[in-house]
């Protein structure tokens, strides 16, 4: 018994040490990434500015992007300043994403838990799923006009699918023995849901939410390109009409940064909600 205890704590310590080693190698990665980004930036400068190998009419120089950034921030472009455009786009993404998560995750849980719910919902889902979300834009405009509601509807449609499928898969691939273990230790149906199915599916739920968030951004930009009064997609389409590569590049970078920020927030939320996966 004592021998057992020491070997066990040793193997535990070994597991912790392995976890640290993994984190150390992950700690080195940001430096490699930063070097790559710096290299690309230098290449960009050399090609467009120092040598002039690429014409600034085709690809903006760093200075063009900088002046576009200043213009958008200080004077505004396409009907508003930087903050207004960011606010409009982020708000729509968040609303669409939240509606998608609030419907996709519970429906996925329901389909994962109950064969009857699955039989009921799945045919409709399979019928609608092959339609690309962007193909709903015309119908959304007919139903809701050019306002926010149409965009939220299309985002919801795009983001709903990965949230639902991953949640469903998370529940369905759960080890059946764990459910049996919960039942033989006295868990009620509700406790099986809250203590076993949801935490067990959580890693896949978060995978689904990450994909949903990405789909939300993709769809938003597309929807704003088609028709919007404000927003980053609106900035992009106006800049294209003005043949303004600096502004196009800046707006694209903004979409990328905002998307990464939101994904980062979701990652933090996941770390907090799924603590057993950390080591």
**130/186 with CB nearer another protein:** 186
Is 178 among the residues that bind another protein (CB under 8 A)? yes
Whose structure tokens read 């968030």?
213
**64/270 with CB nearer another protein:** 270
Choose, by CB under 8 A, the member of 53, 83, 175, 256 that binds another protein: 175
Calpha distance 65→48 (Å, rounded): 12
**Span near another protein by CB under 8 A; candidates 45-53, 100-108, 114-122, 180-188:** 180-188
On whether the CB atoms of residues 38 and 213 are closer than 8 A, the answer is: no
Q: How far is CA 36 from the centre of its chain?
A: 23
**148/195 with CB nearer another protein:** 195
Is 194 among the residues that bind another protein (CB under 8 A)? no
On whether the CB atoms of residues 48 and 56 are closer than 8 A, the answer is: yes
Choose, by CB under 8 A, the member of 130, 185, 243, 268 that binds another protein: 185
Is 18 among the residues that bind another protein (CB under 8 A)? no
Q: Three-class SS of residue 53?
A: coil
DSSP assignments along 169-180, one per residue: HHHHTS-HHHHH
**117/274 with CB nearer another protein:** 274
Is 100 among the residues that bind another protein (CB under 8 A)? no
Choose, by CB under 8 A, the member of 38, 181, 257, 265 that binds another protein: 181
On whether the CB atoms of residues 141 and 223 are closer than 8 A, the answer is: no
Q: Three-class SS of residue 256?
A: helix
Structure tokens at 196: 């076993």
On whether the CB atoms of residues 171 and 200 are closer than 8 A, the answer is: yes
Kindly list the residues in this chain that would bind another protein in the complex (CB under 8 A).
Answer: 1, 3-5, 7-9, 11-12, 15-16, 175, 177-178, 180-188, 191, 195-196, 199-200, 202, 274, 276, 279
């Amino acid at each position: 018994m004592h021998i057992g205890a020491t070997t066990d704590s040793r193997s535990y310590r070994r597991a912790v040490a392995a976890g640290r080693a993994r984190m150390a190698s992950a700690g080195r990665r940001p430096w490699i990434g930063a070097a790559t980004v710096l290299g690309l930036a230098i290449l960009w400068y050399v090609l467009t500015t120092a040598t002039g190998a690429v014409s600034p009419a085709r690809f903006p120089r760093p200075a063009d992007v900088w002046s576009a950034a200043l213009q958008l921030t200080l004077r505004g472009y396409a009907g508003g300043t930087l903050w207004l455009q960011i606010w409009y786009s982020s708000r729509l993404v968040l609303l669409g994403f939240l509606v998608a998560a609030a419907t996709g995750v519970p429906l996925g849980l329901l389909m994962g838990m109950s064969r009857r719910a699955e039989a009921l919902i799945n045919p409709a889902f399979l019928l609608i799923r092959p339609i690309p979300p962007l193909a709903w834009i015309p119908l959304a405009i007919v139903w809701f006009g050019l306002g926010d509601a149409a965009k939220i509807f299309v985002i919801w449609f795009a983001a709903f699918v990965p949230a639902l499928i991953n949640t469903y898969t998370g529940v369905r691939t759960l080890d059946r023995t764990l459910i049996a273990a919960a039942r033989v230790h006295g868990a009620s149906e509700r406790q099986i849901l809250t203590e076993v199915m949801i935490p067990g599916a959580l890693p896949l739920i978060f995978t689904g939410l990450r994909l949903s968030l990405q789909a939300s951004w993709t769809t938003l930009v597309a929807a704003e390109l088609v028709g919007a009064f404000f927003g980053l997609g609106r900035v992009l389409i106006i800049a294209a009409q003005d043949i303004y590569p600096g502004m196009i590049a800046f707006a694209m970078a903004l979409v990328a940064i905002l998307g990464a920020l939101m994904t980062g927030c979701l990652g933090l939320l996941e770390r907090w909600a799924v603590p057993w996966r950390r080591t």
